[in-house]
Amino acid sequence: MKDLQIIKAYPIFVEKKALQVNKQVNKSTRDEEDILHLSRLYAVLSLVNQAMVRARSPEELFADVCRIAVENGAFMLVWIGLHDPETHAVIPVAWAGEPQDFVRKVNVIADDRPRGQGPTGTAIREGLPVIINNVLTSRYAFPWREELDAAGIRAAASFPISIGDTVRGALTLYVSEIDFFKEKEIALLKGVAEDISFSLERMEEEKQRRQAEDALKESEWRYREVFDNASNGIFVLDVTPEGKFRYASLNPSGEKMLGYSIADISGKSPEEFLPPENAEILNANYSKCIKAGAQVDYEYDINLNAGYRYFHTTLVPVRDKSGRICRIIGIADNITERKRAEEELKKLNENLEYLIAKRTVQLEAANKELEAFCYSVSHDLRAPLRSIDGFSQALLEDYGDKLDAQGQDYLRRVRAASQHMAQLIDDLLKLSRVTRREICVKKVNLSKMALAIVAELKSAQPERRVDFVIAPEVYVNGDEGLLMVLLENLMDNAWKFTSKHQHARIEFGVIEDGGKEVYFVSDDGAGFDMAYAGKLFGAFQRLHAMNEFPGTGIGLATVQRIIHLHGGRVWAEGAVEKGATIYFTL
């Protein structure tokens, strides 16, 4: 009955046979032995408890337990093995007593194989204490029978060591007498194993806690590095329930920016260390974050101890469990230099704008003056010419009979000269009008324009034999009026410089050059010497004598001006008596 009780109270594996043998032992001897055994085991329990407090590592505790059990419990051999869940090997980690090499030789495993059926393997596998009170007769000890016998071991007990619900290993004790392990011994030793388990669990927890702590420290250290070395000013404000802002942290860059160290301002509100006007600025900024209830981002300037500063600051609110903003994290960027540069740039721009406005006014005045001048020219320069021409004609009409042929010729020359000068004045005015006009860009059909000019030229001198080749559907973007003047000038020139030829050919067309359209007007007339090509587009520059081809030398200057106004380019190619081609882009 007693043995059954043991089994009930502590689920253990106890070999029935061994217990039966136990019953046959003489009672009085047994009592004495029991008392001795138990007092020794109490001592072991007590010493193990002390060791638990002392031990700083499982290994240390295991070694202590084995030593105490041998020294104070009078066990022959004690060892602790840990279970390797992968190989199921039970690896001895501590032992004491004799013979020591037995522990190394036992080669215990904790699975279903024969070497897993011993007390240690079974205890680990089943999670229950296993008692063998006669190793020589037990089938559980069979694989090690010879070693056990050689070592003088007669009884063995193994107790699982667990962390939580997981069996991690076992405490195995050997004695040289049969039937050593009885109810009370088993209970006490079970207590030892439980103490070890408890201690192991605690140490494991401690280890995990320490690892977590280390990880936290590591991460904190990393953040601290960022915090300490950031070029941005970083600060943390505690927000009191009354709505005050107190500095909790400030990184070195922040200290430099603010001109105060965290030691000086920790726990203080801005108004407690800053002049009122600055405290007001900062408090107002921080209030923005509270008001918004979200991240805010702003720029502001402030006159600090450290000097005039411009900051770009981002504030991030942190809420407590109740949702109240209890903290604000701030990141400030010193943008004083940037602002100064911006300011300078702005000033430069303003100055530039002022200068441009001034120049524009001057230019407008100059333009007005030019306009007045042109007006005056058109009026006042022509009036005397009219007198010269008119009175020369009057002379010819009224006194022609009093002049000989030469005298009359002189008067005619006077008239021709005054008329030529009038033409010059008109052409000059046209040239100046080209630049005075505002350009109005739209799609213009140059082909149509050229054909209209051709019709006009033909009707003026129907007797001339000229072939015109006009490329169809040439469209450009430009000012219609100016392009008309341009094309008129070019076609007039071509018409004029082919006038000495019996038969002529004038072409208007377009060619491609490097992806750009190049327009041209070409003729096969008098042409020009390329050596003088540079003079072609200057005002009053003429390459032909007046009696050869009439003209004022302003036509191509006007053409060039119109093309420049359109952002284009103009150039000429030609050879004497081989014709000329004027190319232009728009």
Partner 1 sequence: MEKIILLVEDNPDDEALTIRALKKNNILNEVVVAHDGVEALDYLFGTGVYASRDIGVMPQVILLDLKLPKIDGLEVLKRLRADERTKLLPVVVLTTSKEQKDIVESYSLGANSYVRKPVDFIEFSEAVRQLGLYWLLLNEVALEKGEV
Return residues touching partner 1 (CB under 8 A): 375, 378-380, 382-387, 389-394, 415, 418-419, 421-422
| Least distance (Å) between residue 421 CB and partner 1 | 8
Shorter beta-carbon distance to partner 1: residue 385 or 403: 385
Shorter beta-carbon distance to partner 1: residue 400 or 534: 400
| Least distance (Å) between residue 417 CB and partner 1 | 11
What one-character DSSP code corresponds to residue 475?
Answer: E
Q: Are 525 and 501 in contact (CB under 8 A)?
A: yes
| Least distance (Å) between residue 429 CB and partner 1 | 8
| Least distance (Å) between residue 530 CB and partner 1 | 37
Residue matched to tokens 């253990």: 12
| Least distance (Å) between residue 373 CB and partner 1 | 12
What's the farthest any 2 CA atoms get from each other in the chain? 189
Measured CA to CA, the distance from residue 224 to residue 226 in angstroms comes to 5
**Which tokens sit at 207?**
């280890």
Shorter beta-carbon distance to partner 1: residue 128 or 381: 381
Burial class for 194, CB neighbours closer than 10 Å (0-12, 13-18, 19+): middle
Shorter beta-carbon distance to partner 1: residue 325 or 422: 422
* Long-range pairs, 331-336, Cβ under 8 A, ≥24: 331/232, 331/233, 331/234, 332/232, 332/233, 332/234, 332/235, 332/254, 332/257, 333/232, 333/233, 334/233, 334/257, 334/309, 334/310, 335/299, 335/310, 335/311, 336/308, 336/309, 336/310
| Least distance (Å) between residue 389 CB and partner 1 | 5
Measured CA to CA, the distance from residue 189 to residue 14 in angstroms comes to 14
The secondary structure element, H or E, covering residue 427 is helix 405-436
Question: Residues 527, 532, 537, 538: is their CA dihedral positive or negative?
Answer: negative
| Least distance (Å) between residue 380 CB and partner 1 | 8
| Least distance (Å) between residue 374 CB and partner 1 | 8
Shorter beta-carbon distance to partner 1: residue 122 or 392: 392
| Least distance (Å) between residue 549 CB and partner 1 | 20
Measured CA to CA, the distance from residue 462 to residue 464 in angstroms comes to 6
Distance of CA 14 to the CA centre of its chain: 71
Q: In what order do the strands lie in the sheet with 503-513?
A: 465-470, 503-513, 516-523, 579-584, 570-575
AA identity, residue 158: S
Shorter beta-carbon distance to partner 1: residue 279 or 424: 424
Measured CA to CA, the distance from residue 240 to residue 246 in angstroms comes to 8
Shorter beta-carbon distance to partner 1: residue 111 or 398: 398
Shorter beta-carbon distance to partner 1: residue 38 or 422: 422
Shorter beta-carbon distance to partner 1: residue 158 or 558: 558
